[in-house]
Structure 1
Amino acid sequence: MKKILNTKLHLRFVFNPLIRLMADNLGAECCINKKPRKHPVIVSLTSYEERFDDLVISLYSIFRQTLKPDRIILWLSDEFKSLNDLPYEITRFLKNGLEICFVKDIRSYTKVIYAFREFKDSVIITADDDIYYPKDWLEKLYYSYIAHPEDIQLHRAHRVILKNGQIQPYESWRKHVEEESARYDNFLTGVGGVLYPPACFSNEVLREDIFLKYAPYADDIWLWVMALVHNRKIRVVQNHIRTLACTDIFRQIFQHKRTLYAHNSKGANDRQLQNLMKYYGQNIMNRLG
């Protein structure tokens, strides 16, 4: 089965000249940091078979950042038994510093939970596998962290709306906060990348028994709740990147049934947040109040 899968993926890459060009032209600037940092900077992401062509473009953009991370870790489902199950266009990045780890698939949580578990003393920056990140994407996050080391840093946030002491439905929240700000009611959105400072959370964030049961498709909600529980403000960085390029907008529009959007539409975000309010409601309202 894996041989068939690998062949199918290879054919897809062969007929996508842009992806092939990127994979074959990883120059000296596509590298990781070599100078020691007090707290290593780790970019963490996950992907799955249908996104592998998008992933190549995202990886290319991450490796070409002006500020180099110390490690770039790709967490993949352990359904893939070895690197031989992956197409060359992905494994090509290994010699530039990419690390690939095979783990139990916990949906979108895969890109962040394993990093939190393994690298508690590191700066963790999450990225999506279908976004082309501008060259200064990482630099802006990192230097904002240096200036404000206690805050969670991001480029893209929504503003949670309260009315009469109640959190209003997700669809009514203010989308795409423009001003630089550090607030508890800034709701982190992972698509723009999120920087978590070292030791950002306790082991509570690793509670699969809670997040997979009550917010299985809403890692952003879980991480926002954890930020409030751990007294972390969410900061929209200065000169944040307002527009991000999706690597395959046509897939996003016409094949979104398998994306998180499909799971989190029609009030699903609100239901998952209400589920978590049963556990952490007092902490959340204390911060927002």
Structure 2
Amino acid sequence: MISIRFLDQFKLYEDQSGMMSYAERVIRKAVNILERSCCNRLNLSAFEGGKKLRDDSIVVSMTTFPARISYVHLAIKSLLNQTVKPWKIILWLAKEQFQDVEIPEQLRALCAYGLEIRFCEEDLLAHKKYYYAMQDFPEQIIVTYDDDIIYPEDSLEKLLAMHRQYPDTIICNRGREIKMENGFVAAYKDWKVSGRVPVGIPSYRVMASTGAGTLYPPHCMPEETFDIEKIRALALTADDLWMKVMSIQGGVPVVKSQTRGKGLCISKKKQDVTLAHQNVDQNLNDQVIKNLLAHYPQALRALQEDGGRI
């Protein structure tokens, strides 16, 4: 049977996506269709204990909302299918959003294999994927993922490999390099994309793409990270920017785990409008980072002084 790992070899690298020929686009679409099908047909017995190496120091944390609850199980199945199995996977749901929403059986079935579904009082949008887990499991490594991607089987393994080299830094599979112009942060659209960001170099200027797989060592984030009022006032719709500035505040750089990542498979045929797309298309990220750096000028100074690392 065709596997997710087998299909991974046919994917283009992320930095090739803007120069694909028609044939390559057809191949990419076909691979995505096959990968969704493979993930959907994964036998639950593959997730049983003892068949994969489990690392009890790792908690995978993610969140979703009602519009995606019918297919979030695909992302979770791909995370249960990792070469290294986490201690647990927690899916955070805002209690208010799910009062009248039934949890699908195909999602509930995964609770027998390492998934926990937890309801939280505050709907902090994408911030939910780190906010509660880091406070409930302060001694664990927290790894965040998105709810609409089918992940390669070695996604977690790559993060852990780089974590062993840099145990006190944040590790990401995909990220951007924050571009500086005349001592100030350039427009978000001009930041270097993931494939052009050097691998294995700790830097304040690397911003993790928190949904593609980001590893946070225990106690790496300052207490201010969990200030709900500041999150709501400064960066409610931009969790990656908030975590970037907070990690600088805590003196923790970011390291990218792989030189060029393969394109990730979206778990739905037609992706819905996301906060990430809105933030980029409407230049909302530029306003958020401007507000954050005005509130935390020491973070801007750290970015200005970090140019020699990458």
User: Of 70, 76, 92, which residue of structure 1 is paired with 2:93?
Assistant: 76
**Secondary structure of 2:71 counterpart:** helix
Confirm or deny that 1:98 pairs with 2:115.
Answer: yes
User: Of 158, 180, 195, which residue of structure 2 is paired with 1:140?
Assistant: 158
Kindly tell me: are residues 218 and 20 of structure 1, through their superposed partners in 2, closer, same or farther at Cα, counting changes over 3 Å?
closer
TM-aligned CA deviation for residue 149 of structure 1: 0.2
**Secondary structure of 1:221 counterpart:** helix
Confirm or deny that 1:127 pairs with 2:145.
Answer: yes
Confirm or deny that 1:179 pairs with 2:195.
Answer: no
Confirm or deny that 1:244 pairs with 2:261.
Answer: no
Gaps of 5+ in 2: 1-35, 306-310
Letter aligned with residue 243 of structure 2: L
TM-aligned CA deviation for residue 53 of structure 1: 3.0
Q: Deviations over 1:51-101 (max 9, x none)?
A: 12331110110000000101110101113359x931101100011121110
User: Of 171, 181, 191, which residue of structure 1 is paired with 2:211?
Assistant: 191
Q: Deviations over 1:164-213 (max 9, x none)?
A: 11111111111113431321111111231110011111211001111111
User: Of 97, 100, 106, which residue of structure 2 is paired with 1:89?
Assistant: 106
Aligned-residue sequence identity (percent) comes to 28
Q: Deviations over 1:232-273 (max 9, x none)?
A: 1110114563321111252x2xx42x5432244322101011
Pairing 1:1-289 to 2, within 5 Å after superposition = 18=37, 21-22=40-41, 25-29=43-47, 31=49, 37=56, 40-79=57-96, 80-81=98-99, 85-103=102-120, 104-176=122-194, 177-180=196-199, 181-238=201-258, 241-250=261-270, 252=271, 255-256=272-273, 259-289=275-305
Letter aligned with residue 246 of structure 1: I
Letter aligned with residue 76 of structure 2: L
Count of paired positions: 265
**Secondary structure of 1:182 counterpart:** coil
**Secondary structure of 1:94 counterpart:** helix
Q: Mean Cα displacement is larger for which, 89-98 or 233-242?
A: 233-242
Write out the 4+ residue segments of structure 1 that deviate beyond 4 Å after TM superposition.
17-21, 30-37
RMSD: 2.4
Assess if the C-alpha contact under 8 Å between 1:61 and 1:135 holds in 2: yes
Gaps of 5+ in 1: 1-16
Kindly tell me: are residues 239 and 283 of structure 1, through their superposed partners in 2, closer, same or farther at Cα, counting changes over 3 Å?
closer
TM-aligned CA deviation for residue 35 of structure 1: 6.2
TM-aligned CA deviation for residue 287 of structure 1: 4.2
Letter aligned with residue 196 of structure 1: Y
TM-aligned CA deviation for residue 120 of structure 1: 1.4
Taking structure 1 as the reference length, the TM-score comes to 0.84
Letter aligned with residue 125 of structure 2: R
**Secondary structure of 2:82 counterpart:** coil
Distance 2:125 2:82 in 1: 27
**Secondary structure of 1:285 counterpart:** helix
Match of 1:9?
none
Letter aligned with residue 172 of structure 2: L
**Secondary structure of 2:72 counterpart:** helix
Letter aligned with residue 153 of structure 1: I
